Amino acid sequence: MFDYDLYIPTHVIFGKGRIKDLPAQLSKFGCKVLLTYGGGSIKKIGLYDTVKALLKDFEVFELPGIEPNPKISSVREGVAICKKEHIDVILAVGGGSVIDASKNIACGACFDGDPWDLVLDCSKVEKALPIVSVLTLTATGSEYDGSAVISNPETNEKLPLFGTGILEPKVSFLDPEYTYSVPKSQTIAGAADIISHTLEQYIVKDGNILTDAMCEGVIKTVIKYTKIAIEDPCNYEARAQLMMVSSYGCSGNLATGRTPSPWVCHAIEHEISAYTDITHGYGLAIITPNWMNYSLNEDTVDRFYQFAVNVFDLEKSSDKMKVAKAGIAKLAAFYKEIGLPTTLSELKVCSEHFEDMANHVLTHWQPLDTAIRPVDKQGILEILKASL
């Protein structure tokens, strides 16, 4: 059993219509609100109007237009509004990108300098404005964790911002109905993201009965309910199941007591997104099976065998390697079945920047040598090339 720290100070309010409690929750933090959102989906589904009506007694400022793979330019805009208007609380309404940008804005507003400096050196994150989130897309788990991922197109960098204990939303409203409008393209990207978060923590040397079962349960839930959500986007049960499990992703719950993981797939995918702006979940769907194949060997076979038997119900056999390989193939087949890309070429990503990406992972990410099969520069290149 490995030591662990687990601290998730987020009040999750889950269910249909629970947004009616928004004024009561927000008023705990003040009356000047910065409402952040993306490119307009919340207006199309009527959520913007609902929120504005609920906020009639608050002084509301707005930062619209936060893009997927949120950019530091949006963060800087948000910080400027917070400082000028003395904002009390940030209300993030959207998917992971909106919540992530809001986290950088929240700490940037309490920092005397450029918010990108906080991404480059997270030890400078000491204080932040409170954040309340209303989630509209199930994928990242940003609604229930203290981290964010911010892109700087000028430097081709997409880097994590960590602020455990500081950047978690104080309250997150999780109403599955707000995800009915999520198109198939984003529903499947979210599925790949949730599965990747889980595998990053599950495929490690030592686990334990509790979190093995939790990880296997998350993946089985995603496999079952993504198919239903694609066929029937307004299926409450399917959207609710996906919303529930996605929050566990980066919260730390799935990693308790396990061998610490360096999150190899995320390290590599963030590089691809940094250079090409592809959808995070698409990159993960491509990288993950190739990383698993790279990691599978005689020393690691037990973990992959367990995955194959417990997640895909493959028959037990004395030929563990064969079953383990079949389990990885099953995962790749599921991704293909729901319409996810299987190669980088499909997304028009070529090998031009692979060297730079590999070098950048090694200098800006935690060391990958603690992975179930240690990954060095050659390993990163091998996984990238297999993904082409």
Site residues (CB under 5 A) for Zn ion? 193
Give the nearest distance from C-beta 246 to Zn ion in angstroms.
Answer: 10
Cβ-Cβ contacts under 8 Å for 13 (sequence gap 6 or more): 21, 25, 171, 172, 173, 174
Q: How far is the CB of 54 from ligand NZQ (least distance, A)?
A: 18
Beta carbon nearer to Zn ion, 25 or 138: 138
The span from the CA of 264 to the CA of 248, in Å, is 19
Residue 342 backbone phi and psi in degrees, to 5: -115, -10
Per the document, the length of the chain is: 388
Place of tokens 């198939």: 184
Contacts of ligand NZQ in 261-320 (CB under 6 A): 266, 280
C-beta of 43 vs 336, nearer to ligand NZQ? 43
Taking the least distance from each CB to ligand NZQ, the nearer of 45 and 122 is 45
In terms of Cα–Cα distance, which of 74, 112, 73, 106 is closest to 87? Answer: 106
Does residue 168 interact with ligand NZQ by CB under 6 A? no
| Residue 97 backbone phi and psi in degrees, to 5 | -65, -40
Q: How far is the CB of 66 from Zn ion (least distance, A)?
A: 17
Among 36, 74, 147, 211, binds ligand NZQ (CB under 6 A): 147
In the bound state with ligand NZQ, the residue whose beta carbon lies nearer, of 140 and 300, is 140
SS (H, E, C) 29-42: CCCEEEEECCCCHH
178 or 291: whose CB is closer to ligand NZQ? 178
Residue 100 CB, shortest distance to ligand NZQ, in Å, is 5
Name the minimum Å distance from CB 186 to Zn ion. 13
- C-alpha to C-alpha distance for 242 and 198, rounded to whole angstroms: 13
Q: Which of 72, 61, 60, 62 is closest to 100 using CA atoms?
A: 72
From the list 29, 48, 116, 178, which residue makes contact with ligand NZQ (rule: CB under 6 A)? 178
Q: Following DSSP, what letter does each residue of 167-232 receive, concatenated?
A: SS-SEEEE-GGGGTT--HHHHHHHHHHHHHHHHHHHSSS---HHHHHHHHHHHHHHHHHHHHHHH-
Q: What is the rounded CA–CA span in Å between residue 330 and residue 346?
A: 20
Q: Which of 25, 102, 104, 140 binds ligand NZQ (CB under 6 A)?
A: 140
> Cβ of residue 298: shortest distance to ligand NZQ, in angstroms?
31
**Whose Cβ is closer to ligand NZQ: residue 141's or residue 379's?**
141
211 binds, among Zn ion, ligand NZQ, none (CB under 5 to 8 A by kind): none
What is the rounded CA–CA span in Å between residue 350 and residue 303? Answer: 32
Residues 60-119 contacting ligand NZQ, CB under 6 A: 68-69, 94-98, 100
Q: Is 226 in the site for ligand NZQ (CB under 6 A)?
A: no
Nearest approach, Cβ of 113 to ligand NZQ (angstroms)? 22
Asked if 156 contacts 175 with a C-beta cutoff of 8 angstroms, the reply is: no
CB nearer ligand NZQ, residue 194 or residue 311: 194
Strand positions, DSSP E, the chain: 11-14, 32-36, 59-63, 89-94, 131-135, 147-152, 157-162, 171-174
Contact residues toward ligand NZQ (CB under 6 A) are 38-42, 45, 68-69, 94-98, 100, 136-137, 139-142, 145, 147-149, 178-179, 181-182, 186, 190, 193, 250, 266, 280
